[in-house]
Structure 1
Amino acid sequence: MKKRREKTTEDYEKDSAVSSVIAGVIMIIIALWILATNVTWVSFAISLLLIAVGGFLIFIKRAERKREAALKDENSPQSVSHRKELDRKIQKAAQKAHYHKGLKGELYYRTVKIAVGLFIFALFLLLFVIAESSLPYIIIAGAMAIGAVIFLIHAASGKDYKQALAAFKAADGGSAEDAESEFAEGALFRCGGDAVCVGRDCIFGCMGLKTEVIPMKIVVWMFMNQKLQYNYYNGVYTGKTKQFFINFCTSGGRIFTYSCSEEGGILIIDEVHHNDTGVLAGWSDELWELYAKDPAGFLEAAVGAVMPSPYELAGKNDTRK
């Protein structure tokens, strides 16, 4: 059987361009057909809207390419504007990073509040559906209510908080009070369902309900990577977004990866360097080859390597549909 070729960035770019042009042309044709068959102020307004949307879809890829080219020029207005906006986001994120609850507050009380909110919503939804809808909708709403109850019980048990304390004890050997102090004094950065808290001696990585504790002493390298998300709505290309991830590479060969914002990743790197200047930062193919070959001897092997910027990204052309 012939092996299926993996899609490249060029493939995604071509697919998205074809999709948007076809959708744009179809919308313009529909608009012209409406004008040709029924000329009223309503049909005229609808046709203008369809033509505007169609034109946007036809030229969206061209606009994306122009913006990407402008961002590569450090002196372009777009590049200057992007740097100013990024600086503003960095300052805002830095101010928020140290204003957060302790470990129990984040992993127990915060989760319980979310669970209670979901339970109340599910309960009201179930009562409304029972009064207004048919049996299939009642079954769906009932299943949601049961799921909310299960989540509330799980949250109230404090299982996630207890597991985080156990992970801290295994990684650092400290007590619950040490874990609370380490987390409370650390800098916390959230992105989606992930969160990273950089403490003095440990990094707390939260992915959903799971919290991993990474001793700073075993982290030898960290880097950000970027993936391009191609967005479609009913098969029509609507644009692409950038996703950022922070990666912590340990001397044991394990890599911990968490979602982050662009400004969050920059600040995480700065926080780790503030607490431990021995951790290398920034991506290069040479560093990756050295790490893949010997994680335990990475720092010694990297002494003669050319060091990239600490904020140099990996996977700039990676894609995920």
Structure 2
Amino acid sequence: MTGSSNATQNERTGQAAEPRGRLIALFGAKGGVGTSTVAVNLGLCAQQRRAKESVVLVDLNLQAGNLHLLLGLEPTHRWREIMREASRLDSTLLMSLLAKHESGLHLLASDYDGLGDTLLNPELVSRALLILRSLFDVVVTDCGHVLHPATRKVLEQASAVLVVTALDIPAMRRTTRVLEVLNPLLGGGRRAQVLLNGLDRNDQGLVTEAEKVLRHGVTWHIPADSDEARTAIELGRPLCAISQRSDVVQTYRHLAAALTEEEAFSGTTPSNGATRWLSKCLQLVMRRS
């Protein structure tokens, strides 16, 4: 962790903690594209690259926050406690509310499922993130797939915003709309990065078609690996915690390195072998957009 002395000093003077860590925000184009899975494996790979405990996951999915399940954790503290203890919010309180994975990765868990009242004060979320960025080198936030005031605060502060999507028609159409909304929101000439999740080898040639549909570049490709993914789910552990050699894990490692400014990475290289039916569908979506 970094900046704890600065955070303490700021708290004593009533000033906001100085943000130092990189804030990486993941926003799903729609439900079911694997945003939470990407967030967990990205956070874990970022932590594995470090000798010290300096990465924290923040679950801001207000519809189905389940990062703790993917990590095999049962947190005793969650976001709702921050809302109740708003007047006491400081680095000490935040650290006491974090769950800790065996890898050293920390988690601020969600207790929202979209079925009850959701009371997240955007300004309080902003304060919490500023404090976390003063304590950790990397803050990875799962923003779910619904844009609400608290999510907007995260996106405005983020060092990098990834829109997670899939290579199917509903996801492509939704991604187009998400980008239309998010890019102006980011401001300062910043643009969201598109991440295609679960890309089958036979579909890699369709990335160019997808970019035409989106009118936006695709920065990252996470390859599909259904067998290893199924094993990870059955074990209740992240893929990056049980496998070291697979293409999926290697891609997550490159992604973590690039987003934390440790090395440059341009994503996986597309290959030939596109599916004609999906190509025609993507072209149809492009004409209707």
Higher relative helix content:
1
Fold shared, TM-score > 0.5 on shorter chain? no
Q: Rg: which structure is higher? A: 1
Using the size of structure 1 for normalisation, the TM-score is 0.21
Using the size of structure 2 for normalisation, the TM-score is 0.22
